[in-house]
Amino acid sequence: MNVLQIEGGFRLRGEIEVSGSKNIALALLSAVALCEEPVTLRNVPRISDTHMKAHLLEEFGAKVEWDGNNLTVDCSGLKMGYPSEESVRAIRTSFYMLGPLLARLGEVELPAPGGCKIGARPVDYHVRGLQLMGAEVELSGGRYFARATKIKGADIYLDFPSAGATQHLMSTAVLAEGVTTIQNAAMEPEVVALADFLRAMGAKIEGAGTATITIFGGANLRGTSFRVPADRIQVGTFLLAGAITHGDVTVLGIMPEDQTAVVNKLREAGALVEETSETVRVKVDNRLEAIRIRTMPHPGFPTDIQQPMAAMLTLANGTSVIEETIYESRSGHIPELVRMGANIQSEGRTSIIQGVKRLHGSNVVASDLRAGAALCLAGLAADGVTTVENVHYIDRGYEAIEHSLSALGGKVKRVAVEPRKVR
Ligand code: EPU
């Protein structure tokens, strides 16, 4: 097995460009099934999640071809597929292909997506939305069976602005007969990027990025080439890596308006943050101050940055409070940070972090993707060597994170070890 070995205590400095967004690429890799002509996605991150999702498309008859970070998908020969439970459980957004596949094939069967280590993550909004659009959807023996002679436009209200349900239903509605509105829609940049992609294929969509999205169905979609925008969660992660190490890091080629919540909180904690139209720079000279964070749907503070932010706040002066409102239990990083010397108390979904002066290198285990990123950040700032296990979680969202952090002056390497030698 591989671990990341991090020698802490080096300030990160320099410029970095992040890869294309994981969550946008995954949404596009569901929507490509709508189109009968080949589609090329550019700047696709070469991470395990995008590879697995591309394989899944192949199980439904798609032809898939990688050329570096460009991925061409030809869904002209789409047919019924019977993917294994593991392949759908491995990436939750596989389930979000149900609507587009149904719109193309009239019938589809997919295993129920699994829960993961950040909470229950049901799919009821997805199912209800598809039913409103005329689909019959049944869960039986751990598999969803969906059938529709015709997908029709519908007025859909989401109880919560779910990013996934908004993306799934918006995509499906493109091939529906008539107009669909999604109220209380998610406003995440990933939704806006997906709408841009669907429009590039010929769809007519208004309001993406607001709480009401209108999709005028029945478009004749055509093939297109689309560049996946930069990964805003990676941007936040590298800014925090700069901040936790008292470094000076500039992230290039991004949309700073997607970073407003993170940038504001970094400034509140005492970091110097400079923005241009395509870059954000963070510089920290003195010990950071404690702050309060509450995760919220966009444009609120992103839940995906909550865990790396917790790592940074373990070393801030005073008592920080983090309230996670999106997921039931996105807290797998806490016991590991405590092993490294952090002082954190959990009360339900709230963490109270009493800043300490030092973290100590330890053997720690990533429980999920962003917990893994948080532990890498803590390791960069800790005394001594930190070993992070379960690197496969980190690989789901960061293309070779050790290279990115090393390019900024961190001492991070991937090392193969015998499983029994680590906790
Ligand atoms: N929810 C329901 N019912 C549903 C759908 C969602 O109750 O039918 C709940 C979820 O359980 C959760 C909340 O609504 O408590 C928000 O979930 P959402 O649907 O918005 O999340 P998602 O689409 O499954 C995406 C990202 C996540 C990110 C969230 C929130 C992808 C592949 N994943 O998940 O990214 O945390 O939006 O922004 O796009 C990550 O990258 O580390 C990650 C987990």
Per the model's pLDDT, the better-predicted residue between 130 and 422 turns out to be 130
Sheet with 411-416: list strands edge to edge: 363-365, 385-389, 2-7, 411-416
Residue 376 a catalytic site member: no
Q: Which residues pair with 411 in a beta bridge?
A: 7
Q: How far is the CA of 238 from the centre of ligand 1 (A)?
A: 22
> CA neighbours within 13 Å on the CB side: how many for 118?
19
Beta strands at 272-275 and 280-283: parallel, antiparallel or unpaired: antiparallel
pLDDT band at residue 341 under the 50/70/90 scheme: very high
Percent of the chain with pLDDT over 70: 97
2-19+230-416 and 22-227: same fold? yes
332 CA to centre of own chain: 17
pLDDT tier at 253, thresholds 50, 70, 90 = confident
- Residue 83 or 119, more confident: 83
Res 381: pLDDT: 98
pLDDT digits (tens, 9 = 90+) for 390-402: 999 999 999 999 9
Mean pLDDT value across residues 390-415: 96
Residues 6+ apart with CB under 8 A from 299: 187, 260, 261
Tell me the per-residue pLDDT of 314-337, one tens digit each, with 9 for 90 and over: 999 999 999 999 998 899 999 999
Q: Which pLDDT belongs to residue 92?
A: 81
Q: Confidence class of residue 421 from pLDDT cuts 50, 70 and 90?
A: low
165 lines ligand 1 (CB under 6 A): yes
In whole angstroms, give the CA distance from residue 73 to residue 153.
27
Phi, psi values for residue 395, rounded to 5°: -65, -15
Give Cα separations from 262 to 12, 101, 332, 333 (angstroms).
18, 36, 21, 19
Q: Is 348 in the pocket of ligand 1 (CB under 6 A)?
A: no
Alpha carbon nearest to ligand 1 atom 43, residue:
304
Q: How far apart are the C-alpha atoms of 387 and 391, rounded to whole Å?
A: 10
d(CA 399, CA 394) in angstroms, rounded, equals 9
Q: How far apart are CA 53 and CA 97, in angstroms?
A: 10
Query: What is the Cα–Cα distance from 219 to 327, expressed in whole angstroms?
Result: 35
Alpha-carbon span 198 to 168, nearest angstrom: 12
Tell me: cis bond preceding 308? Omega within 30 of 0 counts.
no
Residue 115 has pLDDT above 80, yes or no: no
pLDDT (tens digit per residue) in 238-252: 999 999 999 999 999
Q: Which residue has the higher pLDDT, 130 or 122?
A: 130
Ligand 1 atom closest to the Cα of residue 303 is 36
Predicted confidence (pLDDT) per residue in 35-87, tens digit: 999 999 999 999 988 999 999 999 999 999 999 999 999 999 999 988 888 77
Q: Which residues contact 390 (CB under 8 A, 6 or more apart)?
A: 365, 366, 367, 372
Residue 99: HSE in the Cβ half-sphere, 13 Å Cα cutoff: 33
**The pLDDT value given to residue 420:** 62
Position 423 pLDDT exceeds 60: no
Q: Which pLDDT belongs to residue 118?
A: 62
Domains of the chain, residue spans: 2-19+230-416, 22-227
Q: Give the DSSP letter of residue 229.
A: P
Instruction: Considering the candidates 35, 75, 116, 376, report the single residue annotated as catalytic.
Output: 116
How far from chain centre, in Å, is Cα 50? 12
- CB of 161 closer than 6 angstroms to any ligand 1 atom: no
What's the CATH class of domain 2-19+230-416? alpha beta
CA-based end-to-end distance of the chain? 12
In the CATH scheme, what architecture does the domain 22-227 have?
Alpha-beta prism (3.65)
Q: Output the pTM of the full model.
A: 0.95
Answer whether 135's CB lies under 8 Å from 148's CB: yes
Name the residue of 162, 168, 258, 368 whose CB sits within 8 Å of the most ligand 1 atoms, as the mutation to test its pocket: 162
Let me know: does 156 contact 180? Beta carbons within 8 Å.
Answer: yes
